[in-house]
């Protein structure tokens, strides 16, 4: 008798991770690979974080912490909001999590019931859709395009017209790197308040912008759930640490879920992360490198035929319309890896409906790696 596989386990894969596996297999076989597929910094954690981790390994037992995280780290995150945005956040509303991925699980479980409908832009981070679906919550994809800067709008929410339990926004966004202005984010927050919609703001790329700084949804409402991470600006991706800011009345529900699902976030990572907020000089140098890489690709990719690029206001991605080159972005990315050694992410990961004619370049690696990738792509297209 064949035992069943639960329906919740039949969600689509996170294709970027499949691409990474294929790229690593190619690399293990001795072939050169340039990694423009994965959205993680090409640099490690700042030196002060490493030193704090070493000290903790020598002196701390590294037992469980409280489910919501170390008090010292929660207090430091709260101070970060005052220093960065001028927003006062009580430490009691700060929840330290197992990466932003753990935060999304806790946010969705605490805010939505099975059968609720949650809107998000198409394209967007695939784990939103897939986690919601695994939990029995229905993702509602709102079409987003260059006209809307790949972001949801009040007009498109009203045009959809159905009843919603939630809305997820990301600014800067993945895969397009597009941002919402403070005015636009405020309008979405006001709309959600008026309609009784829970707003979840993904702010994991805050700090990585190339013009105006990103606005936080906390400037417009205390009822939002904000998700952030130590993986992007703070360059601690493998440490698996993130955080949430939750409304006061939701905090106990999140705590109970966290106790049962995760017990606590990684203690070593938490002890080390307290130091990262004092490393902005080093972290901003990383952002300056991303800006250099962005400028390089914006100048070079059109020479390789990639001349329809989304506005990359933040994050470290370029989202390219490749409809004039293919209608199968997965096959195109496989062929690009095989022919040039350049690994990229197919658009269908982020938009199952229209992503067959898009792909995403990550420019978070070294400038030398980005330049070599551009050279190979230009050579292939010539």
**Average pLDDT for runs of 10 along the chain of length 382:** 81 77 84 88 95 94 95 98 98 97 97 97 94 96 88 93 94 96 97 97 98 96 97 96 97 97 97 97 97 97 94 94 94 91 92 93 96 94 60
Domain ranges in the chain with CATH number 3.40.640.10:
7-45+280-381, 47-278
Q: Does residue 294 contact residue 146 with C-beta atoms inside 8 Å?
A: no
Q: What is the pTM of this model?
A: 0.94
Instruction: Decide: helix, strand or coil at residue 200.
Output: strand
Give the span between the Cα atoms of 263 and 69, in whole angstroms. 10
Q: Does residue 261 contact residue 68 with C-beta atoms inside 8 Å?
A: no
pLDDT of residue 101: 95
Q: Write down the CATH number for the domain with range 47-278.
A: 3.40.640.10
At the topology level of CATH, where does 7-45+280-381 sit?
Answer: 3.40.640
Tokens of 143: 């079409």
Residue 180's contacts (CB-CB under 8 Å, 6 or more residues apart) are 151, 169, 171, 188, 215
């Amino acid at each position: 008798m064949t035992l069943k596989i639960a329906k919740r386990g039949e969600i689509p894969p996170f294709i970027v991770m499949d691409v990474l596996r294929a790229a690593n297999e190619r690399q293990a076989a001795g072939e050169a690979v340039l990694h423009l597929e994965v959205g993680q910094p090409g640099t490690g954690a700042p030196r002060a974080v490493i030193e704090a981790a070493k000290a903790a390994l020598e002196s701390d037992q590294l037992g469980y912490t409280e489910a919501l995280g170390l008090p010292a780290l929660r207090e430091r995150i709260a101070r970060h909001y005052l220093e960065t945005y001028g927003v006062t956040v009580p430490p009691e509303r700060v929840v330290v999590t197992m990466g932003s991925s753990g935060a999304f699980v806790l946010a969705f479980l605490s805010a939505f019931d099975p059968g609720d409908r949650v809107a998000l832009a198409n394209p967007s981070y695939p784990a939103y859709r897939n986690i919601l679906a695994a939990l029995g919550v229905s993702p509602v994809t709102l079409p987003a395009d260059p006209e809307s800067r790949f972001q949801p709008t009040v007009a498109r929410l009203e045009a959809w017209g159905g009843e919603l339990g939630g809305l997820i926004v990301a600014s800067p966004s993945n895969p397009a790197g597009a941002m919402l202005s403070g005015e636009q984010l405020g309008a979405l927050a006001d709309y959600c308040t008026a309609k009784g919609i829970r707003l979840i703001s993904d702010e994991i790329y805050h700090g990585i912008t190339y013009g105006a700084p990103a606005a936080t949804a906390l400037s417009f409402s205390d009822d939002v759930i904000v998700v952030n991470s130590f993986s992007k600006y703070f360059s601690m991706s493998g440490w698996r640490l993130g955080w949430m800011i939750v409304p006061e009345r939701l905090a106990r529900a999140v705590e109970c879920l966290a106790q049962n699902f995760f017990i606590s976030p990684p203690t070593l990572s938490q002890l080390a992360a307290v130091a990262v907020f004092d490393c902005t000089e080093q972290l901003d140098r990383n952002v300056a490198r991303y800006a250099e890489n962005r400028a390089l690709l914006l100048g070079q990719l059109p020479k390789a035929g990639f001349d329809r690029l989304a506005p990359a206001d933040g994050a470290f991605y370029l989202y390219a319309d490749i409809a004039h080159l293919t209608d199968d972005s997965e096959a195109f990315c496989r062929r690009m890896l095989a022919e040039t050694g350049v690994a990229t992410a197919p658009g269908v990961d982020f938009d199952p409906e229209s992503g067959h004619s898009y792909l995403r370049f990550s420019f978070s690696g070294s400038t030398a790696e980005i330049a070599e990738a551009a050279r190979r792509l230009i050579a292939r297209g010539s």
